[in-house]
Structure 1
């Protein structure tokens, strides 16, 4: 198709350049006007009623005020919903906003949000008395051990140059320490062991170590010797003691008395054992005292505080102070290596049993320990005694 906008530069006045340019521009303007008029005529002849009607509806809807509460077309609803969700969670959203955030609705998108699980199991604190670290201990190869004890020592006498010398002989006794077994087993389904994202076998092993340690520590302090070790405080009447008020009002004076009641050779290696609550009572009393620095807190992590220059250890198996009722022994001071003997036969061992429970799909973890202990020298410790009617 030949364009109507073509410019013809030839004419009668070819020799007149100005007239030629003027004529060309006039022809171009006339052709442009004709073409524009033709386009307008063609557009006017088309049926645009539907397009005009649709544009009118969109314009009316955009300008209409929101009187029905329908916020589906509110461009700010997503921003508002996200802000409320981040500030207060799902409970802070209204019904309209919940339609916008659908992570809590499985069918509306919640299935694509995967939870995360930790492989670390939170355990409650396991506390036990520190007597094993302070007492003497030995490993034996049988079920019991006999320890000789010097009952009466050798005694000489003053004599003259040629006087008769008397004879003297020591007398001996012996202590018998037996070992006892502490045992139990944990049944776990085989499928749980296979599918768990937590290393259950390692967790059970570590947990058994803690709980067995706690059980033996309690026996070392207060065990009655019946199928278990005999505790340091099982027979408190065997020890020297000082009496204190049950409310703890004179505890500072009494721990000083106990310190000097113990022979110096034992006191030089002595340790204090008491509950943490009793530590607080003594610490507060020491702060209010004018007798110098009796209590000294440690500046190094893991190093115990000292009372009268000797270390203080927390023992959860001791009695409380102030005393609640009856007779209590809230504080003990002594050379624990001389006062108590521990004998080890078999350490904590864990055996995995895949067979006896296989018929029911069960794996058993058997744990056991053989250990014994008993007080051996009562003169090496002193107790603080309190009585509340």
Structure 2
């Protein structure tokens, strides 16, 4: 059995274990949500009678907080399952001889600094993506897959957006702003010339994300330590935190341009390159008073075209999601937020999936844009430049060995509405 096959087998066991955990959490979440609804109904009934009880309100808030914790646990398990399905647990196919040889040499380099012709092996294994002066060595496939898996687990935007891998420093894409004009004609009527589509070129420049984890030589000498998983775990926290913030509020200078950094306009005045928004009608925390919160969410959903609603989802932080959990529809008096219906699926609002991202602002003041809604697969593109590189540094901070790890990536945004 090859290393890759062992890794895959462990990944499948983890997936089954996660699925079992998800089912248990999901059952507890459903029971807690039913309790929440019953206590919330009692709170509403008391308020209507003018008998508002602080103790009852605090009870509802405690149950709501417990639902938030359970949903967070479920989201983490669901993310792990999804990341394994992407292929981050390894490949079932045996590695080619060149890549297997490169992986062995890289392991020796990582542990004791012996290069052993590693530069030539990169070329043989077709792993070279840029020139020698850039420094460092390209990590083996299994190690890069492990890093991708961990990033896919903890990075909210990476999990819901379109991700593309390139081998050059720039990716260019043509986007059609308006299709060719046509018309209906009879059998013998003339076919006049029509306007041509307007194409806009989008250029994605690769930028560099880095982490610099350290290990003692004693740890590296331990043959039982899984080096690829150790590096993935170490760099993923740094990468995920930096990525997550940039994908929401990044200014595009030496980093990705974030979702909320684009110019916003009222949805009725939407134009290419801008983000349309729908106002909630309240310059303060969103509430269910007079159903203003439910109305705002409904207006938001139907502000975008049907083609973008089909695969659309909500993006918000957990505080906002907890507030919306109390909202009910105006006519049926049904709660807008609903828990997952099965393991591996997210919670929903108005029937659309909800993704949590703590980088989204709170819904507490006017002028904020706390909720995004749209088809992120069509609206936000993350471009990864292939070839995670590692530069080994045993000198700067003895007795620790640092591993300067770089991962080029870039992004662009279009066609998402939010408010």
TM range (shorter): 0.5 to 0.7
Q: Does 1:308 align with 2:308?
A: no
Q: Name which of 141, 144, 149 aligns with 2:170.
A: 144
TM-score, with length taken from structure 1: 0.57
Equivalent residue, structure 2, for 1:255: 297
- Name the CA distance, whole Å, in 2 between partners of 1:161 and 1:346: 54
Q: Is 1:341 aligned to residue 381 of structure 2? A: yes
**Partner residue of 1:209 out of 222, 236, 247:** 236
Secondary structure of the residue aligned to 2:278 is strand
Q: 1:196-223, CA deviations, whole angstroms, 9 ceiling, x for partnerless residues?
A: x999996554121232122112212221
Residues 198, 155 of structure 1: alpha-carbon distance in 2 compared, 3 angstrom cutoff: closer
Corresponding residue to 1:154 among 168, 174, 180: 180
SS of the residue corresponding to residue 254 of structure 1 reads: helix
Tell me how far apart the structure 2 counterparts of residues 290 and 129 of structure 1 sit (CA, whole Å).
Answer: 36
Higher strand share: 1
User: Which residue matches 1:134?
Assistant: 160
**1:178 corresponding residue in structure 2:** 205
The structural deviation recorded for 1:138 is 1.2
How far is the alpha carbon of 1:157 from its aligned partner? 3.4
State the partner residue of 2:259: 232
Residue segments in structure 2 that go unaligned for 5+ positions in a row: 1-152, 265-273
The answer to whether structure 1 residue 242 and structure 2 residue 268 are counterparts is no
1:252, distance to aligned residue in structure 2 (A): 1.7
**Counterpart for residue 245 of structure 2:** 218
The CA distance in 2 between the partners of 1:186 and 1:382, in whole Å, is 38
Residue in structure 1 matched with residue 5 of structure 2 by the alignment: none
**What per-residue deviation string (whole Å, max 9, x for no partner) do you get for residues 225-271 of structure 1?**
00011112211411221111122132221001101111111111101
Name which of structure 1's ranges 313-322 and 200-209 shifts more when overlaid on structure 2: 200-209
Identify if the C-alpha distance between structure 1 residues 288 and 200 changes in structure 2 by more than 3 Å, giving closer, same or farther: farther
CA distance in 2, matches of 1:303, 1:161: 52
Q: Name the count of aligned residue pairs.
A: 251
Asked if the contact 2:392/2:402 (under 8 Å) is kept, the reply is yes
Contact 2:213 2:234 in 1 (8 A): no
More helix by proportion, 1 or 2?
2
CA distance in 1, matches of 2:154, 2:226: 26
Separation in structure 1 between the aligned mates of residue 184 and residue 228 of structure 2, nearest angstrom: 70
1:294 positional shift: 2.5
Matches within 5 A, 1:274-285: 274-285=316-327
Tell me the CA shift for residue 154 of structure 1: 0.9
Change (3 A) 1:159 1:327: same
Larger deviation: 278-287 or 171-180? 278-287
- SS at 2:182's partner residue? coil
* Structure-1 separation of matches of 2:209 and 2:385: 12
Q: What is the RMSD computed on CA atoms of the aligned residues?
A: 3.1
Cα pair distance change 1:297/1:289, threshold 3 Å: farther
Deviates more, 1:206-215 or 1:182-191: 182-191
Tell me, in whole angstroms, the C-alpha distance in 2 between the residues paired with 1:288 and 1:153: 39
Instruction: Give, in whole Å, the separation in 2 of the partners of 1:366 and 1:256.
Output: 47
Per the TM alignment, residue 175 of structure 1 is displaced from its structure 2 partner at its CA by 0.4
Contact 1:350–1:366 under 8 Å retained in 2: yes
